[in-house]
Amino acid sequence: MGKYENDVKRLLELVGGKENIQAVSHCMTRMRFVLVDPKKANEKEIEELPSVKGTFTQAGQYQVIIGNDVAIFYNEFTAYAGIEGVSKDAAKAAAKTNQNILQKIMGTLGEIFAPLIPALICGGLVLGFRNVIGEINFFNNGTQSLADISQFWSGMYNFLWLIGEAVFHLLPVGIVWSITKKMGTTQILGIILGLTLVSSQLLNGFSVSSTPASDIPVWDFGFAKVQMIGYQGQVIAAMMAGFVLVYLEKFFKKICPEVISMIVVPFCSLVPAVIIAHTVVGPIGWKIGDAIGNVVYTGLTSDFRFIFAAVFGLLYAPLVMTGLHHMTNAIDSQLLAIPPKTTILWPMIALSNIAQGSSVLAMSVLQKKNERAQQVNIPACISCYLGVTEPALFGVNLKYGFPLICGMIGSSCAAMISVGFGVQALSIGVGGLPGILSIKPEYYLIFLVAMIVAIVVPFGLTFVAGRIRLSAEHRFGKKRTETVPETETETVSDEKELKAILDGKVIPITEVQDEVFSQKVMGDGIAIEPTNNVVTAPADCDVSVVMADTGHACGLTLSNGMELLIHVGVDTVDMGGDGFNLLVKEGDHVKAGQPLIEFDPQKIKDAGHPCTTMLIVTGEGDASGIAMHTGMDAKAGADTVISWE
């Protein structure tokens, strides 16, 4: 009898049977299914299985979180189901065939913008601080700002524009770089193409609308003249130029002999791409971007703006779940590039974040005695109020249904207030409660009213609905039947601490850029931003599981029964083992400080993944009162990062 025989049989039934499985693989913690019809998966009953810690759907894959024993579970599942497992890459490829053309386009768009979001958030905060420093007249009867009365703050106001300009004016550089990264072509060529779009030799794109046509400089080729216009802040034009470069490079790589490709491919790709960007796709992209921006702006300022706002506020959260919301980043950026160089769209997005977070807050109050639910509710609420909604949407609101709807209603009400009074933002990127920093100062008060509505309405509706709809089990929790290993060690170590597994900054697990870890689905723990490249054992322990094919993770078991998971990098399973060297095997007994995994940080970064390394307590064993120690610069084997009573 297999260890997970009952759960394996039940899971096969609940995902729709063998005929509904197009492909299946696994990583260190999760079963990854590509389903023929995802709707046949009974998510509620799957999550009730003793060995399942949660589920979610990402990039066309239905992922079932198992934990350290996922390899055992996977082997039993494929053997019972009579299905041959595939590699992670094959599963990803199969998942793409499960997407329609719109999902593929939105997925690509999302992958292009995702690496830019941290910069947009930072730039938005910077411009928000500039608003407070130089745009709000707090002093001398409302006639002067902090920058007007203080030389220091005047200098700071001017200095901060250095960052704001780099983020928003030079955005095309980031966009073209991200496209080349996503498409697997030469990233430095993308950066150079982006720089040619925002060169100081060109008329700044933000100044084009105020410059007479006769004063716009040109390149005169005798037979033709080309306007020397920069594309600062332009999104559509930059994206079109980036894809021109990508497909030119792929074409020349395909036809060019390897012996001369280093010389021919970059030249034949970059030079034509720059010419086409400034003569063809740039002007076309500018027109398209302006058209989209003008249509949206007209809708937001027309007599029908209340209807537009109500619908947008209601539907934005579902858009996030489909990935379609990434299009709003392009539209918002375009709105900031055309007069009046503000956006009415972004305030509604910030309000939607707040509304969904308020629904989670109500759920947290309702489920305050449900410890398992609170492990998801609390971090999801905090991240949502800070502008990151996916943990709240997928981890809480969509799961129960009614909190999502209550948040949508609150978002719709708040959006109508915001748009009705013409609230405008000077920048994008700062969502949730901090979003007020991006608002033009004259609209602070009305936006604050809209924020209150976005908090009170969803909270009240969710609380009332939850009192009616939530069962006692959901409100107060229940003890789950856990799958217990057949053999357990009887000796208990006197050690009550785990040492750092790497040199580097120790951060809370909630800051990891992976929802499974940041929501503590696998368990609580810490993460380290490494400054070295060898992972060592945090204590004397046994190696209980390894990812032999990828080498990026391993599971450990202490003598007191505590189970640990070490995971190097975020989404590094996609690297297929490139850059990793697993130094131990399953069943080894290791001493504290003994090397476990060696990795190449540069390869991880080049593959587009963070090097953040997680140390997770997946099973407490006999330990109690477990405490996480973060915020320090730790030395591997020397500093305590986790302790217990």
Is the pLDDT assigned to residue 645 strictly greater than 70? yes
**3 state DSSP class of 106:** helix
Same domain, 60 and 191: no
Highest mean predicted confidence (pLDDT) among 183-187, 411-415, 485-489, 550-554 = 411-415
pLDDT digits over 2-24, tens only?
A: 788 889 999 999 999 988 888 88
For range 257-261, the mean pLDDT: 88
Is the pLDDT assigned to residue 329 strictly greater than 70? no
* 423 or 478: which leads in pLDDT: 423
Angle between helices 261-276 and 236-255 (to 10 degrees): 150
**Contact present, 403 and 363 (Cβ < 8 Å):** yes
**Contact present, 36 and 19 (Cβ < 8 Å):** yes
Question: What band does 248 get if pLDDT is binned at 50, 70 and 90?
Answer: very high
- What pLDDT was estimated at residue 321? 65
The answer to whether residue 486 sits within a structural domain is: no
Q: What is the spatial distance between Cα 214 and Cα 223, in angstroms, rounded to a whole number?
A: 18
- What pLDDT was estimated at residue 255? 93
For range 51-71, the mean pLDDT: 77
Structure tokens, 369: 């005695």
Single-letter amino acid, residue 481: T
Q: What is the spatial distance between Cα 209 and Cα 318, in angstroms, rounded to a whole number?
A: 36
Q: Which of 52, 61, 54, 56 is nearest to 87 (CA)?
A: 61
Q: Is 623 left (phi over 0), alpha (psi -120 to 50) or beta?
A: beta
Single-letter amino acid, residue 213: A
For range 26-38, the mean pLDDT: 81
The answer to whether residue 491 sits within a structural domain is: no
Same domain, 461 and 593: no
The answer to whether residue 124 sits within a structural domain is: yes
Q: What is the spatial distance between Cα 630 and Cα 599, in angstroms, rounded to a whole number?
A: 23
Is 27 considered catalytic here? yes
Question: What band does 58 get if pLDDT is binned at 50, 70 and 90?
Answer: low
Same domain, 306 and 269: no
**Contact present, 164 and 427 (Cβ < 8 Å):** yes
Same domain, 143 and 246: yes
From 273, 299, 325, give the residue that closes a domain: 299
pLDDT digits over 260-312, tens only?
A: 989 999 999 999 999 999 999 999 988 887 787 777 778 888 888 899 899 98
Is the pLDDT assigned to residue 360 strictly greater than 90? yes
- What pLDDT was estimated at residue 634? 92
- What pLDDT was estimated at residue 70? 80
Question: What band does 636 get if pLDDT is binned at 50, 70 and 90?
Answer: very high
* 138 or 159: which leads in pLDDT: 159
Tokens 């590039």 belong to residue: 337
The set of residues, in sequence order, having a beta carbon less than 8 Å from that of 115 and lying 6+ positions away, is 174, 178, 181, 608
- What pLDDT was estimated at residue 274? 96
What's 576's domain CATH number?
A: 2.70.70.10
**Contact present, 119 and 112 (Cβ < 8 Å):** no
The answer to whether residue 572 sits within a structural domain is: yes
Same domain, 292 and 320: no
For range 464-484, the mean pLDDT: 70
Number of domains in the chain: 4
Q: Which of 101, 401, 77, 281 is nearest to 85 (CA)?
A: 77
- What pLDDT was estimated at residue 491? 39
Starting at the edge strand that comes first in sequence, how are the strands of the sheet with 61-65 ordered?
Answer: 21-26, 30-35, 61-65, 54-58
Question: What band does 365 get if pLDDT is binned at 50, 70 and 90?
Answer: very high
Same domain, 166 and 79: no
- What pLDDT was estimated at residue 478? 55
Highest mean predicted confidence (pLDDT) among 121-125, 295-299, 375-379, 613-617 = 613-617
- In 421-497, which ranges are continuous DSSP H helix? 444-469, 472-476
Question: What band does 493 get if pLDDT is binned at 50, 70 and 90?
Answer: very low
The set of residues, in sequence order, having a beta carbon less than 8 Å from that of 101 and lying 6+ positions away, is none
Same domain, 19 and 129: no
Q: How far apart are the first and last CA of the chain?
A: 37
For range 453-469, the mean pLDDT: 94
For range 173-181, the mean pLDDT: 92
- What pLDDT was estimated at residue 492? 41
Same domain, 35 and 164: no
What's 67's domain CATH number?
A: 3.30.1360.60
Question: What band does 335 get if pLDDT is binned at 50, 70 and 90?
Answer: confident
The answer to whether residue 190 sits within a structural domain is: yes
Is the pLDDT assigned to residue 39 strictly greater than 90? no
The answer to whether residue 350 sits within a structural domain is: yes
Single-letter amino acid, residue 443: Y
Q: How many CA atoms lie within 13 A of 44 on its CB side?
A: 5
For range 399-407, the mean pLDDT: 90
Specify the DSSP class assigned to residue 570.
S
For range 218-239, the mean pLDDT: 90
From 299, 319, 350, give the residue that closes a domain: 299
From 299, 328, 357, give the residue that closes a domain: 299
* 24 or 99: which leads in pLDDT: 24
- In 338-443, which ranges are continuous DSSP H helix? 345-366, 371-385, 390-392, 398-400, 402-420
Question: What band does 101 get if pLDDT is binned at 50, 70 and 90?
Answer: low
How many other C-beta atoms are found inside a 10 Å radius of the C-beta of residue 631?
A: 9
Same domain, 48 and 138: no
The answer to whether residue 490 sits within a structural domain is: no
The chain-wide mean pLDDT, for the chain, equals 84
Same domain, 292 and 409: no
How many other C-beta atoms are found inside a 10 Å radius of the C-beta of residue 484?
A: 9
Highest mean predicted confidence (pLDDT) among 127-136, 432-441, 499-508, 571-580 = 499-508
Handedness of CA 193, 198, 203, 206 (dihedral sign): positive
Tell me what percent of the residues of the chain surpass a pLDDT of 90: 40
pTM assigned to the model: 0.56
Q: How far is CA 408 from CA 28, 47, 146, 388, 523, in A?
A: 35, 25, 38, 16, 30
Q: What is the spatial distance between Cα 640 and Cα 644, in angstroms, rounded to a whole number?
A: 11
Is the pLDDT assigned to residue 635 strictly greater than 80? yes
The set of residues, in sequence order, having a beta carbon less than 8 Å from that of 62 and lying 6+ positions away, is 15, 32, 33, 34, 35, 38, 41, 55
- What pLDDT was estimated at residue 413? 96
Question: Which residues of 547-623 form beta strands (DSSP E)?
Answer: 553-557, 563-568, 580-582, 589-590, 595-599, 613-619
Is the pLDDT assigned to residue 324 strictly greater than 70? no
Of the residues 27, 413, 541, 611, only one is catalytic, namely: 27
**Contact present, 618 and 634 (Cβ < 8 Å):** no
Is the pLDDT assigned to residue 219 strictly greater than 90? yes
Q: Which of 78, 80, 82 is nearest to 33 (CA)?
A: 78
Q: Which of 12, 20, 14, 44 is nearest to 98 (CA)?
A: 20
How many other C-beta atoms are found inside a 10 Å radius of the C-beta of residue 345?
A: 28
The answer to whether residue 488 sits within a structural domain is: no
- The full DSSP string for 193-255 is HHHHHS-TTSBPGGGGGGS-GGGS-EEE-SS-EEE-B--TT-SHHHHHHHHHHHHHHHHHHHH
* 613 or 441: which leads in pLDDT: 613
Identify any residues that bridge with 506 across adjacent strands, giving them in sequence order.
528
Same domain, 202 and 340: no
Tell me what percent of the residues of the chain surpass a pLDDT of 70: 89
Alpha carbon of residue 618 to chain centroid? 23
* 327 or 454: which leads in pLDDT: 454
Worst-scoring range by mean pLDDT, 102-116, 354-368, 462-476? Answer: 102-116
Worst-scoring range by mean pLDDT, 62-71, 273-282, 329-338, 539-548? Answer: 329-338
Same domain, 56 and 115: no
The set of residues, in sequence order, having a beta carbon less than 8 Å from that of 542 and lying 6+ positions away, is 556, 557, 587, 588, 589, 590
Full domain range(s) for residue 322: 302-476
Highest mean predicted confidence (pLDDT) among 399-403, 411-415, 605-609, 619-623 = 411-415
Alpha carbon of residue 303 to chain centroid? 36
Worst-scoring range by mean pLDDT, 98-112, 280-294, 345-359, 447-461? Answer: 98-112
